[in-house]
Amino acid sequence: MVIKRRQKDGAEIPTSSMADIAFLLLIFFLVSTTINTDKGIDMMLPDWGNTLDVPKRNIMNILIDQSGQLMVDGNITQLAFLQETVRKRSEENDKLIVSLKPHKSTEYDDFIAVMDQIKLAGATRVSIADPDK
Amino acid sequence: MKIEKKSKVKIEIPMSSMPDIVFMLLFFFMVTTVLRTYAGLNVELPEAERIKKLEGRSHISYLWIDRNGDMSWNDVPCGPDKTLYQLAHNKRLSDNQLVVSCKYDRRVNMGIIAEAHEQLRKAGALAINFATRSKSR
């Protein structure tokens, strides 16, 4: 019996369509990519059940009522002057903690406006107190 | 005067490196693409000036509260109670770099927000970001 020898053909992967496939994939990823647009004000919440005693002189109390009016350490203040007040107090006391306490009916928009002014003043230690229930 | 004729040299753009360029672009988009997106709730975000871009998209979870007080954690409906705690706690266990992007409607009351934050604190999801729009000047 004669055994036939296999032909020694060089097997090659066709690469001519490689660019087309790559283009196709490229267009898919181009279309499906969404550029990260999440932005906002960073904040670190305090650990649950972890309370710290802070001397009263290091706390700046800011209260916001339901209509968005502000009270800073017992004095009614306008939002336009808040940034300057916080900046001045931060310069006087580098351990200052700004405590922000909104009313439970305060709108989030008013809260963010105050928070923005505090951040613009350069205050790094900000705490949010829970509204009275 | 004799006007010289322009030489008829064929100008060709080299195409041999085209697949390399395409592949490079392809890998860039493959690496940067995040396919997971959430539908969320219909909220109108407040405006602020001092805002930061939120980095590390894979570590971000989203908490929505719309103007009616409806809440959603990564598209799962929840309330400011055990349901939110459980969702946040499970996420926090699987990701210790978790950042919660808070997408609250500008007219939401602070009472409900405080309740939600209490649950986040209990769950250990402490890093949050109040999502805002840039203030148009």
CB contact under 8 A, B117 and A47: no
CB A132 within 8 A of CB A64: no
Contacts A82 to B, Cβ<8 Å = none
Chain-centre distance for alpha carbon A97: 20
Q: Which residues of B63-94 are buried (b: 16+ CB within 10 A; e: fewer)?
A: bbbbbeebbbbbeeebebeeebbebbbebbee
DSSP H helical segments within A1-133, as ranges? 18-32, 79-92, 108-120
Query: Using CA atoms, how far apart are residues B102 and A110, in angstroms rounded to an integer?
Result: 16
Do residues A118 and A82 lie in contact, with contact meaning Cβ atoms separated by under 8 Å? yes
Confidence of residue A84 (pLDDT cuts 50, 70, 90): very high
* Interchain contact A17–B (C-beta under 8 A): no
A127 and A98 in contact (C-beta within 8 Å)?
A: yes
Confidence class of residue A10 from pLDDT cuts 50, 70 and 90? confident
Would you say residue A5 has pLDDT above 80?
A: no
Rounded CA separation A62/A60 (Å)? 6
Polymer length in residues for chain A: 133
The domain A56-128 is placed in CATH, from the list 3.40.50.2300, 3.30.420.270, 3.40.109.10, 3.40.50.1460, at 3.30.420.270
CB B50 within 8 A of CB A82: no
Q: What is the ipTM of this complex?
A: 0.75
Q: Which fold has domain B47-134?
A: Nucleotidyltransferase; domain 5 (3.30.420)
For the segment B13-36, what is each residue's pLDDT rounded down to a tens digit? 877 788 888 888 888 888 877 766
pLDDT tens-digit readout, B79-90: 989 999 999 999
Domain boundaries along the sequence of chain B = 47-134
Residue of A nearest to B121 (CA): A48
Measured between CB atoms, does A39 come within 8 Å of chain B? yes
* Chain pair A-B, CB pairs under 8 angstroms: 145
pTM of the predicted model over 0.95: no
A105-129 pLDDT, tens digit per residue, is 999 999 999 999 999 998 888 988 8
Instruction: Report, as an integer, the average pLDDT of A22-42.
Output: 81
Amino acid found at A127: S
Closest partner residue to B57 (CB to CB) among A18, A36, A106 is A36
Which residues in chain B have their CB less than 8 angstroms from residue A112's CB?
46-48, 106, 130, 132
